[in-house]
Amino acid sequence: TQLLEQSPQFLSIQEGENLTVYCNSSSVFSSLQWYRQEPGEGPVLLVTVVTGGEVKKLKRLTFQFGDARKDSSLHITAAQPGDTGLYLCAGVTGNQFYFGTGTSLTVIP
Amino acid sequence: EAQVTQNPRYLITVTGKKLTVTCSQNMNHEYMSWYRQDPGLGLRQIYYSMNVEVTDKGDVPEGYKVSRKEKRNFPLILESPSPNQTSLYFCASTRDPTDTQYFGPGTRLTVL
């Protein structure tokens, strides 16, 4: 059961550009998390959003949780090569985690 | 250092040969979980455990077993591995599902 759809699946941009990654579902989640994963490593948590409509900022990254707690977005301002990686959203419902399909981001210097 | 460890990191085996992947965490976390990661499918939760002696099925539990006899350890058992279980496996732990989830380094399993 794939509850979370991420888009785009792949994204290749120039350094300095802005981008947005979307995480959509028809299900309601009690919380939603965003992770970044480097090749050969496990995912690392970036942020957790809990309240519908919540916006969190982490330096150049802005995370938003939809009002209905069914979707989320990740916006990166002025992308840098160090932002390159696989971005994963994960919704929590009950005590289970449901991960999105992932967005592979490449930032070209 | 707070960490989740998995062993082995790489494993090649044959169909039907029982195997165990170990997972251990040193953060006294209540919640532990196993995932598999496949191209185009993201991470899918196999089993999770809220505490010692408490385990629950995740999204894709078929063909897997787990146990939680001690708080720090959560082994994943494949009684009779099949080629469709070839995947990258991650163990993770957290204080509770709304808190930071820490992942192990992964185990790449190939079943021939």
What mean pLDDT comes out for the span B50-73?
96
A93 touches chain B (CB under 8 A): no
What mean pLDDT comes out for the span B43-50?
96
pLDDT score recorded for residue A1: 57
Percent of chain B whose pLDDT exceeds 90: 90
pLDDT, chain A, mean: 94
CB atoms within 10 A of CB B18: 10
Give yes or no for residue A2 having a pLDDT over 70: no
pLDDT in tens, A32-60: 999 999 988 999 999 999 999 999 999 99
Distance from CA of A6 to the nearest CA of B (A): 10
Contact between residue A1 and residue A87 where contact means Cβ atoms under 8 Å apart: no
pLDDT, chain B, mean: 95
A96: nearest CB among B41, B58, B101: B58
pLDDT score recorded for residue B40: 82
pLDDT in tens, B80-91: 999 999 999 999
Q: What are phi and psi of B35, to 5 degrees?
A: -130, 155
- CB atoms B42 and A43 under 8 Å: no
Percent of chain A whose pLDDT exceeds 70: 98
Give yes or no for residue A78 having a pLDDT over 90: yes
pLDDT score recorded for residue B41: 85
Q: Which is more confidently placed, A2 or A21?
A: A21
B105: nearest CB among A41, A101, A102: A41
Which A residues 50-89 touch B at CB under 8 Å?
50, 88
DSSP state of A82: G
Distance from CA of A98 to the nearest CA of B (A): 7
DSSP string, B60-101: --TT-EE--SSSSB--EEESS--GGG-EEEEEEEESSTTSPP
The one-letter amino acid code at A57 reads: K
What mean pLDDT comes out for the span A94-104?
92
